[in-house]
């Protein structure tokens, strides 16, 4: 099981639903973005892939998709908070360069919600996460 508690392998090694909550399998949804096989076409698609990256511990994807100006300086060295298990994503609203969402999680068996309105921008033709507006 990956950091954050996600597992995208079903019985007999087949793909399961993508952690981002889409109706697609991981291999048809966020998997290609995590592997660098393709780029996100929209800010919403990037935000969903970043949520899945937190679930699955895909630190490389988070690093590649975080604007260098706002990326935590020790992201790779410090890693992800493994005490938080991500349990679901609700996309509430979005525009061309922002996405409002609720990311559900548990810490020590206690449920919580991270509400965020994230800002994205295109950099060298690719969507990147900039920061949280609220």
Given a contact cutoff of 8 angstroms between Cβ atoms, the answer to whether 60 and 113 are in contact is no
Supply the pLDDT for residue 134: 78
- Each residue's pLDDT expressed in tens, for the chain with a length of 134 residues: 333 444 554 444 555 899 999 999 999 999 999 999 999 999 999 999 999 999 999 999 999 999 999 999 988 889 898 899 999 999 999 999 999 999 999 999 999 999 999 999 999 999 999 999 97
CA atoms of 100 and 117, how far apart (whole Å): 4
Bridge partners of 90? 102
Given a contact cutoff of 8 angstroms between Cβ atoms, the answer to whether 98 and 115 are in contact is no
Given a contact cutoff of 8 angstroms between Cβ atoms, the answer to whether 116 and 101 are in contact is yes
CA atoms of 128 and 32, how far apart (whole Å): 16
Q: Which long-range contacts (CB under 8 A, 24 or more apart) does 7-14 make?
A: 8/56
- Please give the C-alpha separations between residue 88 and each of 6, 51, 52, 62, 64, in angstroms, as whole numbers: 11, 9, 10, 18, 23
Distance separating the N- and C-terminal Cα atoms of the chain:
32
pTM higher than the cut 0.85: yes
């Amino acid at each position: 099981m990956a950091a954050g508690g996600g597992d995208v392998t079903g019985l007999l090694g087949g793909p399961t639903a993508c952690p981002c909550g889409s109706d697609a399998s991981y291999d048809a949804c966020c998997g290609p973005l995590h592997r660098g096989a393709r780029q996100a076409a929209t800010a919403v698609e990037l935000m969903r892939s970043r949520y899945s990256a937190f679930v699955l511990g895909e630190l490389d994807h988070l690093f590649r998709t975080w604007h260098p100006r706002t990326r935590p300086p020790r992201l790779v060295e410090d890693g992800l908070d493994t005490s938080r298990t991500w349990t679901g994503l609700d996309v509430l609203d979005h525009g061309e360069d922002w996405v409002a969402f609720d990311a559900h999680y548990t810490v020590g068996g206690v449920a919580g919600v991270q509400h965020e309105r994230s800002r994205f921008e295109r950099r060298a033709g690719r969507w990147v996460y900039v920061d949280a507006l609220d």
